[in-house]
A and B are shown apart, each in its own frame.
Chain A
Amino acid sequence: MSKTATNDIGEPMPADVHERESSNRTKATPRRRRRPLLSITTRIDSRRYLAISTVAFVLFVMLWWGITAAEIVKPMFLPSPERVWQRLSALAAGGQLWDDLGISLFRISFSFFLACAMAIPLGMLIGSFRVLDAAFEPMIDFIRYMPVVAFVPLTILWVGTNEPQKYLIIWLGTFFQLTLMVQDCVKRVPRDFIDVGRTLEMREWTILQRIVLPSSAPAIWDAMRICLGWAWSWLVLAELVAASAGMGYRITVAQRYFQTDTIIGYVLVLGLLGLASDQLMKLLGKTMFRYQERT
């Protein structure tokens, strides 16, 4: 930013505005104006950001601890943080937690990968060719508004209660959404970029590969991140009904024996997994699309 006073289109501001501003300050010690923390454009450094978000987590746990310590809610319904921690540690030591985690992670990774591998090419084609848009877009839009939850009984009838049913639920929940999100990303590729390809006599297929795909890649990556967040919910849904292993299954079993500590522990682990996968995607995106940053 330039040091001289300018308005937001870069023209110098009238001198009197400048004078009025400076007359409020003592002339002897001109100091830098500090922006208030609660100003819309104020940025904070990463250390301060981390500190604030950590405090928020600590406060959350303290509130939980306070409620249980004051015995506002019966421990049977809301166990204390220590109780949940002990329970989780025991499950981890016994290997149960890791088994459940392993199965669930495989299910979500496999289905999400499958959904992406199908949604990205299809979304790109729909976003690029009007004919395919007409053929697929309204249909997919229709399907994606059908509640995935309602498909659970149907999928069980279709493919049984084995692994494919879990994949199918996660796939149903992400594929249609992601396809339309990818289509939208592709439609936002600047027309001029495609015209550059045309003036170079590139073929349509080459334009799709060399211009449309790389140009929309950062936005597609963001869409994938959002869909992965949803996929976690579909995973647990699939495991709550008709499963014999996995995070969601353990939660259902725990409910039967009134083990609220296990339920809460597993829900927290799921939350952490979601947070970790999201941050990982964010980090990968930053690395892959480093060219977007100004230096």
Chain B
Amino acid sequence: MTSSELTLRGVGKSFGRGNRRNRVLDGIDLTLADNEFVSLVGASGCGKSTLLSLVSGLQDYDEGTIEVGGSLVEGPGRDRGVVFQHYTLMPWLNARQNIEFALKAAGYSRADSTRIANEHLALVGLSESAEAYPSQLSGGMKQRVAIARALSYKPRMLLMDEPFGALDALTRRDMQELLIDVWQHHRLTVLFVTHDVEEAVFLSDRVVVMGRYPGCIREEVNIDLPRPRKPEVTGSPEFAELHWRVMSSIKQEAALAS
């Protein structure tokens, strides 16, 4: 971990105007190193999803600076792949076409798009379902295609907003393992928003606990569990201790706020 991939300095964001102006983020300083996997956790209303959308460029920030790979974020860009919380596959395109859709937008030729789409379907274990339309895919499969789509055009960073939030517990587990697998192969910087502390600890190099009213960074917990991580690690005492540390940090914060 040498160069910094993502740098936020004094980032602030408000919604509304005049008397109803509501400060949702205040003085956010955060740095992600190259290939680092960082999760944002916190009680609802802490602005973690908003923070992610500021980094993605889908929303504008009012104060501070956000830099990706040394250049200022001034809007969305293909250097940052985004996986949304809700299913965002285009229903009129099948799984392969959904990935090709992104690749064509990124300027790849038709032949290259098909080849890369097939490679990425294989990466997420969905080669068999290449021709299936989203209505025929399960929630987990849809998110796998969405991850494949976001990775296909080789962004510097992957931004994920509670991507497994709508999935059942077992599928969620499978997806976490798949993501860890993909990340270990691809080696890219990931910013991951979740409200599931166990998920955050299992996946991340570092967990950032956010506080609220207004949203801010409360604590950063380094997750020094060895990699590659297997699901068994969640049963270890080290895992339990880290889980507890993050959990109590969120709880303290919630108690302070109320």
**Residues of A with Cβ closer than 8 Å to B?**
10, 190, 192-193, 195-202, 206, 210-211, 214-215, 217, 289, 291-295
Contact = CB atoms under 8 A, between A and B. Distances in A.
A64 to B, nearest CB: 44
Nearest to A292: B135
Contacts of B106: 200-201
Contacts of B56: 199
Contacts of B93: 291
A196 B57 CA distance: 12
Given A200-B102, A215-B91, 20 more contacts: A192-B86, A198-B57, A199-B56, A199-B58, A199-B76, A200-B78, A200-B105, A200-B153, A201-B76, A201-B78, A202-B105, A206-B105, A211-B90, A214-B92, A215-B90, A217-B92, A289-B92, A291-B94, A294-B135, A295-B136
Contacts of B91: 215, 291-292
A193 B93 CA distance: 13
Q: Is the interface of A mostly helix, strand, loop or mixed?
A: helix
Interface string B118-157: 0000000000000001111000000000000000010000
A241 B211 CA distance: 72
Contacts of B77: 199, 201
B105 A192 contact: no
Contacts of A199: 56-58, 76-78, 80-82
Interface of B: 56-58, 75-78, 80-82, 84, 86, 88, 90-94, 101-102, 105-106, 133-136, 153, 168
A287 to B, nearest CB: 13
Contact of B88 (A196, A201, A217, A294): A196
B58 A198 contact: yes
Contacts of A190: 86, 88
A75 to B, nearest CB: 55
- Give me the 8 closest cross-chain CB pairs, A-B, nearest first: A200-B105, A198-B76, A291-B133, A192-B88, A199-B76, A199-B82, A214-B92, A192-B84
Q: Which residue, of A199, A206, A291, A292, has the highest number of chain B Cβ atoms within 10 A? A: A199
27 contacts: A10-B168, A190-B86, A192-B86, A195-B76, A195-B82, A195-B84, A196-B88, A196-B90, A197-B105, A199-B58, A199-B76, A199-B80, A199-B81, A200-B102, A201-B76, A210-B101, A210-B105, A211-B90, A214-B90, A215-B90, A215-B92, A289-B92, A291-B93, A291-B94, A291-B133, A291-B134, A294-B135
B69 to A, nearest CB: 16
Nearest to A200: B105
A210 B88 CA distance: 14
A193 B90 contact: yes
A198 B153 CA distance: 14
Contacts of A10: 168
Q: Which residue, of A193, A211, A293, has the highest number of chain B Cβ atoms within 10 A? A: A193
Contacts of B102: 200
A197 B84 CA distance: 12
Contacts of A202: 105
A195 B81 CA distance: 11
B93 to A, nearest CB: 8
Q: Which residue, of A198, A214, A215, has the highest number of chain B Cβ atoms within 10 A? A: A198
A200 B57 CA distance: 11
A190 B134 CA distance: 15
A289 B57 CA distance: 33
A60 B106 CA distance: 60
A190 B80 CA distance: 21
Contacts of A291: 91-94, 133-135
A201 B58 CA distance: 11
Contacts of B135: 291-294
A9 to B, nearest CB: 11
Contacts of B80: 199
Contact of A193 (B78, B88, B133): B88
A211 B80 CA distance: 20
A184 to B, nearest CB: 19
A32 B76 CA distance: 55
A156 B67 CA distance: 66
B167 to A, nearest CB: 12
Nearest to A291: B133
A211 B81 CA distance: 18
Contacts of A200: 78, 102, 105-106, 153
A209 to B, nearest CB: 12
